[in-house]
Structure 1
Amino acid sequence: MNIKKLVKSKIFYIALAIILQCIFIFFTVYYFSSKYFFVSILLMLFSVCTCIYVINSDTNSSSKLLWVFVIMMFPIMGCILYLLFGGKKIPKELTVQDRQALNDYKRYIQQNQITLKDSNDLLLHRMALMAWNNGYFPLYSNCQTQYFSTGEQQYNAMIHELLKAKDFIFIEFFIINKSVMWDTILQILLDKVQEGVDVRLIYDDFGSLEFFETDYSKWLNDRGIKTHVFNQIKPQIEIQMNNRDHRKIIVIDGEIGFTGGCNISDEYINTKKRFGYWKDMGLMVKGPCVETMTVSFLQIWNYQASIKTDYNDFVLPNSCFSYEKNGFVLPFFDSPTDDKFVGKNMHLNMLNNSSRYFWITTPYLILDSDMVSALDLAVDNGVDVRIIVPGIPDKRMVYDVTKANIDILVRKGVKIYEYTPGFIHGKVCLSDDRNALVGTVNMDFRSYYLHYECGIWMRDTNCIEDIKQDFKQIFKSSHLVTLEECNNVNPVIRIYRSILKIFSPLL
């Protein structure tokens, strides 16, 4: 992006407005605290109270450490920064809308008790009950699953299935970029609208901010593609701007669903080269489990829409499916508006119940003390814990925090692999040859605490062997980080990464 284009962009004006607001707040606080002694004392007392509140808050210890550190270093401005950006404060309007959508969802969805009664599998019961108690996500059987080891494979399957759509297409993505990939999908959507297919699209405003004009959603709506822009970015300091829709979902006719790491942009299918070879992974499911994906899409849709959509109009009854039993499938979704950390709990549950191995890929490794302790305990229990991260980073600062966590984990016996060919963006987890998870959840603070996420947990499905073979190929193409490498890091760089790690909850 050249300077002239940048100055004319929406990003520039939003960033400029936020910077000016921050400067105004800083100088206002500075002026009154320096001119009036009692104001300074009040602000100092307020900062102490804020520290006490942070320490006693129901949040992860890493975030507490960050904000207490900031407030102690900058007693007055640190407190203001916490009020603006700290904690897990979701705006009332967003919370009310999300709660209403959740209540509508709860009235519709019901736990599949027959599936649980037919199984004596303890781990299956644990995962199913945790998912139900965390967000009312049912367990399903009689579903088909297909794993894609590259973004190219998933893209080809998506195009193939979109072309066959008869009734409706629901699409929800964090990033949609004007590209070969989007142009192809867009033309199919426009054609399907002409055929009478109900086409709906949700994209995150921040994720697509750089790529779409302000009125692009209107352009789509005018052509029959019903479009919502999630949590639109505004040129003012607002806490909810931190809560993004990181989900990647396609639902076709209530029978076919896609999810995984791929956004809609050419680097995900390597027609555009960024950071070496871009490796992504995804999943296609068919059968009754698509019900949860359909309803969850409509949940997001309904709390943005003036006219609500009835779930029953788009969910197929189980009698429509004739797939043979193929293990168990559990789609789940995560929202920052409640006190349940579904994505993180899915990872922890899989890790804590692993007996032989736990392998996971993540583009970012920004962990809190809970996850570090769980990984450490798993290693002590004899579990082969392996984490695959990119060999070529997309964000330098985030990569340095990843490196700081790598240092800690390697010393605890966790095997860290760096994907040598380039950037691995997939979020895939595998354990003990029987359990797998494919979705959008990274091992970082944003996915665990701030973003809307999704994923599909599987047990004993036929695609698990494909996932294992993909992991084996990744290991062959990756570099195992050694303790010697960690010890040989320049002391200055080590200190820099340690300091940066304190601020990792903001990255």
Structure 2
Amino acid sequence: MSKDGKKPLGDSSVFQKGRKGAMRVIYGRTAIIAVSFLAQIILIGGVVNFFRPYIPMFFGGYMVLGLGIVLLILNKETTPETKLMWTVITMLLPLVGAALYVYVETQPGYRLLAKRLNDIYKQTEAFVQQDEAVLDALEQKDIGTAQLARYVHKNGNFATYQNTEVTFFPLGEDKFAAMLTELERAEQFIFMEYFILKEGYMWEKILEILERKVQAGVEVRVMYDGTCAMFDLPFRYPELLKAKGIQCKMFAPIRPILSTHYNNRDHRKILVIDGKVGFTGGVNIGDEYINRVEKHGHWKDTAVMFKGDAVQGLTMMFLQMWNVTEKEPEYGKYLQKAEKASQAKGFVLPYGDSPFDDEPVGETVYMDILNRAKKYVHIMTPYLIIDQSMITALTFAAKRGVDVKLILPHIPDKKFVFALAKSHYKELLKAGVRIYEYTPGFVHAKIFTSDDEKAVVGTINLDYRSLYLHFECAAFLYQVEEIAEIEKDFQRTLEKCQEVTLENRKKGTFFLRLEGWLLKWLAPLM
């Protein structure tokens, strides 16, 4: 064991753990699911191949079928890039494209979840009443920001709050330390919702506290995304936690049935304690997020903590997702205003985004910041796979003189995603957007800051998955004092970056740029 508490690479226990993990993948549920998926793909391929000899005979019919599907695609309310992708697939392979499109659009699991969520949103409208006095006060400060708040409330049912203290954490380690402190203070309930939950030092320390709190009568609920069961946790892990007195659920566990429903992951990161303290941001529960282990160099992440009225917004988001599978959901007893008035300045708007409401709230908030910025917009994001609307917003802001800067990873976690990000560099750089790569490692933070008075910290990446396919959450901050700290952190991070220019972007990246060019038409699936 080294002085810093990390295990050396040669430690036999590390090897044994890796071996056990590999054996679990090969002989466990993950392998069964993979084999089942492969069998279903082969079956679909066999059906298509069976009809292949009949294609010349019914060529006209296939073309009419393909054209009909294309007309459906073109008239569907979705992004132009998604329409283009499906049109290319259908025109190149009419039978396969038509079958795939119909399969995607008619899956009952997707529709049942969408209906259940819409019912829940209607049930909870009464619990998310917007205080008009808060919006009136915001309107006195800036009518445009008040209009954005009204849009988010109308289209997402999320309220804007005052009376909220905000603390910004520039690293996952900082958030982790604050989490442990606040968890120790819990008296009534603890709600945790995370995209990734991994066994390791971070989770062990949290779990120790949760077990003690359960024994003290605190209600503890833990929810994580079902993809964790593929590589990070045993499929029966919720039952192990329930044996300790902790309520636990997986969101949309992966089962051996092909479905596009698996695209819609719960990417949120929420911790609520007693309805008085709330956390969100990019930090999951895993040792790489606190730089306890190294995966892609230094892991740069961010988070925020609320104390006060805005915690209600995070509490409601958690309860909405938790209650998807509950027959008799409860809301009222968990939602409460702060016990004492805070002297904190500014406005806090916690909000979520859902792939089932046909309203891109996350993207709209980002674009509103870009479109109304006067001096600067500074962005950190791990991924840059964007549609033409976002490209236009970024480039137009730069062209009209706004200082637009993006910090992206220098060491990627996914090579093909990195290649797609680089495919956007040239167009953005030519318009005056400045791009930087974080040379120490991987940026996982998702932040916007603008004009010393606006900021967003949350889970929403600049990619199709976050903007259109996943359940996400974030907090929009206006004239909150901690915005200055978020901008300072951006500037400190900038000092550790190398700038990408039109001249140096080509160095040593030919095959990476070729990969991005070839994959670009499939970007809506990335």
* TM-score in same-fold range (> 0.5): yes
Give, in angstroms, the shift of residue 484 of structure 1. 0.6
Whether 2:402 is the aligned partner of 1:383: answer yes
User: Given that residues 90 and 337 in structure 1 are in contact (C-alpha distance below 8 angstroms), is that contact kept between their aligned partners in structure 2?
Assistant: no
- Between 1:191-200 and 1:81-90, the stretch displaced more is 81-90
**TM alignment of 1:29-178, pairs within 5 A:** 29-35=48-54, 41-85=60-104, 91-119=110-138, 120=140, 121-178=142-199
Structure 1 counterpart of 2:401, which letter?
A: G
Give, in angstroms, the shift of residue 13 of structure 1. 1.6
Deviation by residue 1:103-155 (Cα, 9 ceiling, x = unmatched): 11112211110012224122321221121122121111111000000000000
Alpha-carbon distance between aligned partners in 1 of 2:145 and 2:509, rounded to the nearest angstrom:
46
Alignment CA distance shift 1:490-1:145 (3 Å): closer
Alpha-carbon distance between aligned partners in 2 of 1:90 and 1:425, rounded to the nearest angstrom:
31
* Partner residue of 1:450 out of 463, 469, 487: 469
Structure 2 counterpart of 1:402, which letter?
A: A
- In structure 2, the residue matched to 1:6 is 25
Structure 2 counterpart of 1:326, which letter?
A: K
Alignment CA distance shift 1:424-1:180 (3 Å): same
SS in 2 for 1:503: helix
User: Given that residues 33 and 39 in structure 1 are in contact (C-alpha distance below 8 angstroms), is that contact kept between their aligned partners in structure 2?
Assistant: no
Whether 2:419 is the aligned partner of 1:435: answer no
Structure 2 counterpart of 1:348, which letter?
A: M
- In structure 1, the residue matched to 2:227 is 206
SS in 1 for 2:503: helix
SS in 2 for 1:93: helix
Deviation by residue 1:72-118 (Cα, 9 ceiling, x = unmatched): 22222122233345799972210121011101111221111001222
Alpha-carbon distance between aligned partners in 2 of 1:355 and 1:425, rounded to the nearest angstrom:
27
SS in 2 for 1:483: coil
Alpha-carbon distance between aligned partners in 2 of 1:162 and 1:4, rounded to the nearest angstrom:
35
SS in 1 for 2:94: coil
- Mark the runs of 5 or more structure 2 residues left unpaired by the alignment: 1-17
User: Given that residues 131 and 342 in structure 1 are in contact (C-alpha distance below 8 angstroms), is that contact kept between their aligned partners in structure 2?
Assistant: yes
- Between 1:78-87 and 1:119-128, the stretch displaced more is 78-87
- Between 1:274-283 and 1:213-222, the stretch displaced more is 213-222
Alpha-carbon distance between aligned partners in 2 of 1:387 and 1:329, rounded to the nearest angstrom:
24
- Between 1:227-236 and 1:74-83, the stretch displaced more is 74-83
Structure 2 counterpart of 1:128, which letter?
A: A
Give, in angstroms, the shift of residue 315 of structure 1. 1.2
Give, in angstroms, the shift of residue 493 of structure 1. 4.8
Structure 2 counterpart of 1:46, which letter?
A: L
Structure 1 counterpart of 2:245, which letter?
A: G
User: Given that residues 229 and 253 in structure 2 are in contact (C-alpha distance below 8 angstroms), is that contact kept between their aligned partners in structure 1?
Assistant: no
Give, in angstroms, the shift of residue 405 of structure 1. 1.4
Output the aligned Cα RMSD.
Answer: 1.9
Alpha-carbon distance between aligned partners in 1 of 2:159 and 2:57, rounded to the nearest angstrom:
57
Alpha-carbon distance between aligned partners in 1 of 2:509 and 2:163, rounded to the nearest angstrom:
54
Q: How much identity, in percent, do the aligned residues show?
A: 36
* Partner residue of 2:279 out of 239, 258, 262: 258
Alignment CA distance shift 1:495-1:345 (3 Å): same
- In structure 1, the residue matched to 2:345 is 326
Deviation by residue 1:211-257 (Cα, 9 ceiling, x = unmatched): 11111111111221111110111111112111100000000000100
Whether 2:440 is the aligned partner of 1:421: answer yes
- Between 1:11-20 and 1:178-187, the stretch displaced more is 11-20
User: Given that residues 288 and 321 in structure 1 are in contact (C-alpha distance below 8 angstroms), is that contact kept between their aligned partners in structure 2?
Assistant: no
Give, in angstroms, the shift of residue 62 of structure 1. 1.2
User: Given that residues 34 and 40 in structure 1 are in contact (C-alpha distance below 8 angstroms), is that contact kept between their aligned partners in structure 2?
Assistant: no
User: Given that residues 90 and 239 in structure 1 are in contact (C-alpha distance below 8 angstroms), is that contact kept between their aligned partners in structure 2?
Assistant: no
SS in 2 for 1:303: helix
Give, in angstroms, the shift of residue 41 of structure 1. 4.7
Structure 2 counterpart of 1:433, which letter?
A: D
User: Given that residues 228 and 304 in structure 1 are in contact (C-alpha distance below 8 angstroms), is that contact kept between their aligned partners in structure 2?
Assistant: no
- Between 1:195-204 and 1:52-61, the stretch displaced more is 52-61
- In structure 1, the residue matched to 2:261 is 240
Alpha-carbon distance between aligned partners in 2 of 1:389 and 1:491, rounded to the nearest angstrom:
19
User: Given that residues 214 and 245 in structure 2 are in contact (C-alpha distance below 8 angstroms), is that contact kept between their aligned partners in structure 1?
Assistant: yes
Whether 2:332 is the aligned partner of 1:315: answer no
- In structure 2, the residue matched to 1:219 is 240
Alpha-carbon distance between aligned partners in 2 of 1:89 and 1:338, rounded to the nearest angstrom:
16
Alpha-carbon distance between aligned partners in 1 of 2:107 and 2:525, rounded to the nearest angstrom:
12
User: Given that residues 161 and 252 in structure 1 are in contact (C-alpha distance below 8 angstroms), is that contact kept between their aligned partners in structure 2?
Assistant: yes
Alignment CA distance shift 1:70-1:276 (3 Å): same
User: Given that residues 84 and 237 in structure 1 are in contact (C-alpha distance below 8 angstroms), is that contact kept between their aligned partners in structure 2?
Assistant: no
Alignment CA distance shift 1:376-1:66 (3 Å): same
Structure 2 counterpart of 1:139, which letter?
A: T
Structure 1 counterpart of 2:233, which letter?
A: F
Alpha-carbon distance between aligned partners in 2 of 1:430 and 1:88, rounded to the nearest angstrom:
39
- Mark the runs of 5 or more structure 1 residues left unpaired by the alignment: none
Give, in angstroms, the shift of residue 495 of structure 1. 3.7
SS in 2 for 1:306: coil
Structure 2 counterpart of 1:438, which letter?
A: V
Alpha-carbon distance between aligned partners in 2 of 1:207 and 1:387, rounded to the nearest angstrom:
30
Alpha-carbon distance between aligned partners in 1 of 2:107 and 2:466, rounded to the nearest angstrom:
13
Alignment CA distance shift 1:92-1:490 (3 Å): closer
Give, in angstroms, the shift of residue 32 of structure 1. 2.5
Alignment CA distance shift 1:371-1:181 (3 Å): same
Alpha-carbon distance between aligned partners in 2 of 1:114 and 1:177, rounded to the nearest angstrom:
43
Alpha-carbon distance between aligned partners in 1 of 2:70 and 2:314, rounded to the nearest angstrom:
41
**TM alignment of 1:304-383, pairs within 5 A:** 304-309=325-330, 311-318=331-338, 320-383=339-402
Give, in angstroms, the shift of residue 478 of structure 1. 0.4
Alpha-carbon distance between aligned partners in 2 of 1:490 and 1:284, rounded to the nearest angstrom:
39
Count of paired positions: 505
Structure 2 counterpart of 1:263, which letter?
A: N
Deviation by residue 1:421-464 (Cα, 9 ceiling, x = unmatched): 00010101100000000000000000010100000000111111
- Between 1:391-400 and 1:372-381, the stretch displaced more is 372-381
TM-score (norm 2): 0.92
User: Given that residues 222 and 249 in structure 2 are in contact (C-alpha distance below 8 angstroms), is that contact kept between their aligned partners in structure 1?
Assistant: yes
- In structure 2, the residue matched to 1:475 is 494
Give, in angstroms, the shift of residue 60 of structure 1. 0.8
SS in 2 for 1:350: helix
Structure 2 counterpart of 1:288, which letter?
A: D
User: Given that residues 353 and 472 in structure 2 are in contact (C-alpha distance below 8 angstroms), is that contact kept between their aligned partners in structure 1?
Assistant: yes
Alignment CA distance shift 1:201-1:5 (3 Å): closer
User: Given that residues 247 and 452 in structure 1 are in contact (C-alpha distance below 8 angstroms), is that contact kept between their aligned partners in structure 2?
Assistant: yes
- In structure 2, the residue matched to 1:500 is 519
Alpha-carbon distance between aligned partners in 2 of 1:490 and 1:185, rounded to the nearest angstrom:
42
User: Given that residues 174 and 208 in structure 1 are in contact (C-alpha distance below 8 angstroms), is that contact kept between their aligned partners in structure 2?
Assistant: no
Alpha-carbon distance between aligned partners in 2 of 1:206 and 1:30, rounded to the nearest angstrom:
32
